[in-house]
Amino acid sequence: MKTFTLDCDFDCDFDLFGVVSSSRDHKLAWALNQALRLRLVKQQDLIYDLLNRGRLVISNYLHATETATLRLLRNRSVDPSPLKKPFLAPDIKEYDYLIQVTNGTGALDADELMAQLSNLPLVQYVCRFDPNALKFKENFQF
């Protein structure tokens, strides 16, 4: 019997930032709201069922306007998981949170956002990533 494999290649058209912060997700969302004049609102957690291996439950905050979208995602699963690497992006597991920006302009421009995030007291470190270079980039397709 022949076996067919479906190869899908996603082209990511968003900016992705990794944030190291020991604060809780709601406190970081509040700080981002204050510093960037956003309205990050807690959304339903993202649930990834990984076929008999376990599941990931990812905390999800969203700020959406007519032109831009910003998501604050916790990189580690909020529920206990039997997975060896319970991360949304296991290849950048050193980062506690991920910020995904689509169509960022003005205050959400990549360079401006990087500077603003670096100045927040709750953020120890921030780094910008090319999402197309990540191994698990399909986890960012919502």
CATH number assigned to the domain comprising residue 61: 3.30.310
pLDDT per position in the chain (142 positions), as tens?
777 776 666 666 788 899 999 999 999 999 999 998 999 999 999 888 777 677 888 899 999 988 889 999 999 888 877 777 788 888 888 999 999 998 867 667 888 889 999 999 999 999 998 887 787 777 677 6
Task: Classify residue 3: in a domain, yes or no.
Answer: no
pTM of the model: 0.85
Tell which phi-psi region holds residue 48, choosing left (phi > 0), alpha (psi between -120 and 50) or beta. beta
Task: Classify residue 6: in a domain, yes or no.
Answer: no
Task: Classify residue 24: in a domain, yes or no.
Answer: yes
Task: Classify residue 23: in a domain, yes or no.
Answer: yes
What is the domain range of residue 120? Answer: 14-140
Task: Classify residue 1: in a domain, yes or no.
Answer: no
Task: Classify residue 109: in a domain, yes or no.
Answer: yes
Q: Is 55 exposed, middle or buried (0-12, 13-18, 19+ CB in 10 A)?
A: middle
Give the total number of structural domains in the chain.
1
Task: Classify residue 125: in a domain, yes or no.
Answer: yes
